[in-house]
Amino acid sequence: MRVSKALIPTVKETPQEAEIPSHKLMLRAGLMRKVAAGFYEYLPLGQKVILKINQIIREEMERAGAQEVLMPIMTPAELWQETGRWEKYGKELMRVQDRHERHFALGPTHEEVITDLVRRELKSYKQLPMNLFQIATKFRDEVRPRFGVMRSREFLMKDGYSFDVDDAAADKTYWIMVEAYKRIFKRCGLTFSPVEADSGLIGGSFTHEFMVLADTGEAAVAMCSACDYAANLEKAFGVPTAHAATTAGGPFQKVETPGKHTVEHVGELLKLPAQQFIKTLVFIADGKPVVVLVRGDHDVNEVKVQNYLQAAEIALASGDKVYEVTKAPVGFAGPVGLKDVRIIADKALQGGHQYVTGGLEKNIHLTNVELGRDFAEPEWGDFRNVISGDGCPKCGKPLKVGRGIEVGQTFKLGLKYSQPMHCVYLDENGKDKEAVMGCYGIGVTRTVGATIEQHNDADGIIWPIATAPYQVHLLLLNPAEPEVAKIADQYYEDLKQAGYEVLYDDRMEASAGFKFKDADLLGFPISVRVGARGLKEGLIEIKRRREKDVMKVPVADVLVKVKEVAEAEWKLCTP
Ligand code: ATP
Ligand code: MG
């Protein structure tokens, strides 16, 4: 494609609305434009990236034994009512009515629709396993659409669903899909980690999120520095670091801590480390107060607490509520003397001594507090977030907490949908049995954003070759000189002939400097720069986008050099 004929509206200024690199760069490099909050148009370069990701997904799904289908975006309310999700999904579900006032949802995901399809077509165990996927537009009316394609209201998703005869068979399919996902993201040139995630209250199910590691990610992930353990912070477990005090002291004492109500401030006053504190937090779970205790250097993990309590809703109590429950102002709550309320405590507190807690009075803390001596043994559990430096639960080496972008998720569903929707097959003995399901999503448009988030520098995008809109950017530096233009034209033909996807910057009006800047911004892996100055010496400049230096290559060697760089690039996208 010649730039002079293409719609590639690059922009020099950083768009104000964009907060993170991928959002800025997708606008600046002319990959997309905004139509409304959370709705985008993909321009030719953006669409090319999407098609390449789709192609990789298709090949790997096929390899894993899945077949492609296409389901409607408009999905009838009756299906959602069968599983209760018409209510449960809440405002995120975009609802529309047809001329007969029948209700539909614009599909945010398609478990109901596919289960309905399969229950109509599935007769015998001989048809199983069945594994179907589609690549289609999804709608979710997100509360806060933001970060461009990362959290949009309309986005492209690959969603897949598997049906198996029993649990063991479903597990086997699940792990085949996990392997396929690893291949997909590797082929996209991404550094990622499949992490164990929280699957909520559904028994017998499990799930992995595929996280592209990037500082701007919305999710926190705990990863081992030595082994392959990785888990979403919602679920991660860590072995706590040592206690500050390991033997009991004398009886507890009241100390005055006027105006100090954080671990940090009281710690400074008493000259004691955060590990020696007990934090006392009050939550309201399904309307009932629950006190949660964690060590001073730890934070409560609400998801873990919610799962333990089997609560539908949970929230931190307001100041008034805290007072009602503990009779202490916020910052001075503590377990000693606390009555008539359920207390649960994080296991990391076990084995510690001489704790500091709130004194249940304004401006009072207690020191030398002993578990089991000064207050009754609470219910123990894992209620805290892992912190960097905790031990890995698998190998003991230190964990690191970092950030990731969830580009995909695999989910063993079990009977969650096949039971209420009665998706059954006849087993070998002629008996009805429910199919065991799994579901598997990849955010295609979010993967575009995540790729840029992981691969960019101050000048622009650095595409992995597998998903780059074009592999080679050919720059004609002196378009007004016919001799130079003729040679560049020839390279354009030769490079295409050699099988490369080439964008040819043949613009008359743009300066060489402008073209260099665009090449860096667009970020194709290889650029070939044809200019009068180099040609005088019989040289062409070739630049690998991810490297700083420009290579000067004899005219005759250009194709050989391009091939060499391209091969090195493809290696980075090979599982
Ligand atoms: P998140 O926790 O980020 O909201 P999710 O867990 O709700 O995502 P899934 O239901 O697992 O998302 O959907 C599968 C994939 O679709 C996600 O892994 C993600 O890549 C993508 N996705 C989900 N919501 C959005 C969105 N609003 N915009 C873009 N992509 C999305
Ligand atoms: Mg998810």
Reference 148, options 37, 51, 44; nearest CA is 37
**In this structure, what are the phi and psi dihedrals at residue 303, rounded to the nearest 5 degrees?**
-65, -40
- Residue 34 CB burial class (10 angstroms; 0-12, 13-18, ≥19): middle
Q: Note the ligand closest to the C-alpha atom of 142.
A: 1
What stretches of 192-271 show up as alpha helix (H) in DSSP?
Answer: 263-270
Tell how far the Cα of 181 is from the centroid of ligand 1, in angstroms: 15
Query: Do 244 and 276 contact (CB within 8 A), yes or no?
Result: yes
Tell how far the Cα of 151 is from the centroid of ligand 1, in angstroms: 8
Q: Note the ligand closest to the C-alpha atom of 449.
A: 1
Q: What is the structure's pLDDT at 197?
A: 86
Residue with CA nearest ligand 1 atom 6: 409
Interhelix angle 167-187/44-63, nearest 10 degrees = 140
| Alpha carbons 512 and 70: distance in angstroms, whole number | 46
Query: Do 95 and 105 contact (CB within 8 A), yes or no?
Result: yes
**Cα distances (angstroms) measured from residue 180 to each of 65, 111, 129, 431, 493:** 10, 20, 16, 33, 37
Half-sphere exposure of 277 (CA within 13 A, CB side): 27
| Alpha carbons 5 and 505: distance in angstroms, whole number | 10
Residue with CA nearest ligand 1 atom 13: 441
Tell how far the Cα of 446 is from the centroid of ligand 2, in angstroms: 12
Residue given tokens 């990362």 in the structure block: 150
Residues in the chain: 575
Tell how far the Cα of 225 is from the centroid of ligand 2, in angstroms: 25
Q: Note the ligand closest to the C-alpha atom of 450.
A: 1
Q: What is the structure's pLDDT at 200?
A: 60
Q: Note the ligand closest to the C-alpha atom of 448.
A: 1
Q: Which ligand 1 atom is nearest residue 153's CA?
A: 27
pTM (global) more than 0.95? no
| Alpha carbons 496 and 8: distance in angstroms, whole number | 20
| Alpha carbons 416 and 399: distance in angstroms, whole number | 34
Tell how far the Cα of 148 is from the centroid of ligand 1, in angstroms: 13
Q: Show Cβ contacts of residue 189 under 8 Å, excluding neighbours closer than 6 positions.
A: 451, 455, 463, 464, 465, 466, 467, 572, 573
| Alpha carbons 265 and 296: distance in angstroms, whole number | 12
CA 445 to chain centre: 12
Half-sphere exposure of 14 (CA within 13 A, CB side): 11
Tell how far the Cα of 135 is from the centroid of ligand 1, in angstroms: 14
What are the pocket residues of ligand 1 if the criterion is a CB atom closer than 6 Å to any ligand atom?
109, 140, 142, 151-152, 155, 157, 406-409, 441, 443, 445-446
| Alpha carbons 234 and 512: distance in angstroms, whole number | 51
How many C-beta neighbours within 10 Å does residue 90 have?
Answer: 9
Residue with CA nearest ligand 1 atom 11: 409
pLDDT one digit per residue (tens) for the chain, 575 residues = 999 999 999 999 988 889 999 999 999 999 999 999 999 999 999 999 999 999 999 999 999 999 999 999 999 999 999 999 999 999 999 999 999 999 999 999 999 999 999 999 999 999 999 999 999 999 999 999 999 999 999 999 999 999 999 999 999 999 999 999 999 999 999 999 999 887 765 455 789 999 999 999 999 999 998 998 989 998 899 999 999 999 999 999 999 999 898 999 999 999 999 999 999 999 999 999 999 999 999 999 999 999 999 998 999 999 999 999 999 988 899 999 999 999 999 999 999 999 999 999 999 999 999 999 999 999 999 999 999 999 999 999 999 999 999 999 999 999 999 999 999 999 999 999 999 999 999 999 999 999 999 999 999 999 999 999 999 999 999 999 999 999 999 999 999 999 999 999 999 999 999 999 999 999 999 999 999 999 999 999 999 999 999 999 999 999 999 999 999 999 999 99
Reference 570, options 428, 562, 399; nearest CA is 562
Tell how far the Cα of 441 is from the centroid of ligand 1, in angstroms: 8
What stretches of 310-388 show up as alpha helix (H) in DSSP?
Answer: 319-326
| Alpha carbons 544 and 525: distance in angstroms, whole number | 6
Query: Do 366 and 356 contact (CB within 8 A), yes or no?
Result: yes
Reference 142, options 448, 438, 453, 446; nearest CA is 446
| Alpha carbons 257 and 273: distance in angstroms, whole number | 16
Half-sphere exposure of 13 (CA within 13 A, CB side): 3
Tell how far the Cα of 195 is from the centroid of ligand 2, in angstroms: 11
Q: Note the ligand closest to the C-alpha atom of 439.
A: 1
Q: Which ligand 1 atom is nearest residue 210's CA?
A: 18
Kind plus residue range of the DSSP H or E element containing 186: helix 167-187
| Alpha carbons 245 and 368: distance in angstroms, whole number | 10
Residue given tokens 């390991």 in the structure block: 246
| Alpha carbons 429 and 393: distance in angstroms, whole number | 44
Q: Which ligand 1 atom is nearest residue 442's CA?
A: 15
Ligand 1 pocket test, pick from 153, 155, 159, 416 with the greatest ligand atom count within 8 Å of Cβ, gives 155
Which residues is 443 bridged to in the sheet?
Answer: 157
Residue with CA nearest ligand 1 atom 8: 406
Q: What is the structure's pLDDT at 204?
A: 55
Rg value, the chain, Cα? 29
Q: Which ligand 1 atom is nearest residue 406's CA?
A: 18
Return the C-alpha torsion angle 167, 168, 172, 173, nearest 10.
-30
Residue given tokens 């377990």 in the structure block: 335
Q: Which ligand 1 atom is nearest residue 408's CA?
A: 18
Ligand 1 pocket test, pick from 157, 161, 209 with the greatest ligand atom count within 8 Å of Cβ, gives 157
Return the C-alpha torsion angle 237, 218, 464, 444, nearest 10.
100
Q: Which ligand 1 atom is nearest residue 407's CA?
A: 20
Q: Which ligand 1 atom is nearest residue 447's CA?
A: 20
